[in-house]
Structure 1
Amino acid sequence: MEVSAQTSELEQIQDWKVEVNSSRDTLRSMQNRLELLSNKKSDEDSLAQIEHFQNQFIRQLEVSDEMFHDLKQCAKKISNNGQLAVLHDDRPVDDCSTMEDRMQTFRKLYNELQEEFNAFSAFS
């Protein structure tokens, strides 16, 4: 791999790590907003929605932790010229294009959750 291509991929991965960290911060903020909403709402429908969002936030934070870890592993692999110490069969970190596909999916699910929660909290 050429040094410039390697550097470019490492810079891209660093950008994704920043994006994942930012999403984690936003998810924690949404969790705090949800907690405030849960103190105001007691009807059955609202409580079901609150539980739904609690579960979604927990899962999305888990996914973001996995993504961050896997981005670090991908960067290590690139830096070590293809040698990777840990490989997850269920979470491929083979190359930058694989991680790009995973980041697109991560963004899509994160944005959908954020939009859904913002719609819910706007009416509460």
Structure 2
Amino acid sequence: MEKMERAKQVLFNEDLHFEHQQWRSELAFWEDESRSFKNRLEEMVRRLTDKNLLAQLEHYQNEFVLHNGIIDNLQEDIEIHEARIASQTQTGRDMPDTLLTRKHLEFRRRMETQRQIYVDLKKEFFGFLTKYM
């Protein structure tokens, strides 16, 4: 999108709220998926004896623990942002102020970055499973 087109875009509080709902759903899915991966990793740790493979499993366990921490942080940040939107809406303003918009766009970039990191982690983990299981 060209700079001129972006400048013409108008965000409303309801748009921000809608995107938050989408992110919440995505984060909930990641949490659920992460529980499945955790269970799979625990099952594999009990079966394997090769120290190199166990070290790789520990690496993936650590990565998923880190990812879960990021999910928690993102969920908290959504709640804070939602509270700001709600307080602004209560004052009768339908459009977020510049700071709120900037924060939202920052958050969108964080979600996009984390989404890519998570996709890459899953690809790597599934590659490991395919190779060794």
TM-score normalised over the length of structure 1 = 0.82
Q: Looking at CA atoms only, which structure, 1 or 2, has the larger radius of gyration?
A: 2
Q: Which has the higher contact order (CA 8 A, sep 6+)?
A: 2
Question: Which 5+ residue runs of structure 2 have no aligned equivalent?
Answer: 1-10, 90-100
Of the candidates 33, 40, 47, which is equivalent to residue 33 of structure 1? 40
Of the candidates 75, 81, 87, which is equivalent to residue 80 of structure 1? 87
Q: Distance in 2 between matches of 1:47 and 1:121?
A: 13
Q: Distance in 2 between matches of 1:108 and 1:65?
A: 17
Of the candidates 109, 121, 130, which is equivalent to residue 122 of structure 1? 130
Q: What is the SS of the residue equivalent to 2:12?
A: helix
Structure 1 residue aligned with 2:109:
101
- State how many pairs are aligned: 111
Structure 1 segments (4+ residues) deviating >3 Å:
none
Q: CA RMSD in A?
A: 1.8
Q: Deviations over 1:34-83 (max 9, x none)?
A: 1111122111210110110111111110110010110111111112119x
Q: What is the SS of the residue equivalent to 1:121?
A: helix
Contact 1:9 1:96 in 2 (8 A): yes
Structure 2 letter corresponding to 1:7: E
Deviation at residue 7 of structure 1 after TM alignment: 0.4
Percent identical among aligned pairs is 28
Structure 2 residue aligned with 1:13:
20
Structure 2 residue aligned with 1:67:
74
Q: Distance in 1 between matches of 2:102 and 2:49?
A: 47
Q: Distance in 1 between matches of 2:53 and 2:12?
A: 50
Contact 1:60 1:110 in 2 (8 A): yes
TM-score normalised over the length of structure 2 = 0.77
Q: What is the SS of the residue equivalent to 2:49?
A: coil
Q: Distance in 2 between matches of 1:37 and 1:70?
A: 34
Question: Which 5+ residue runs of structure 1 have no aligned equivalent?
Answer: 83-92
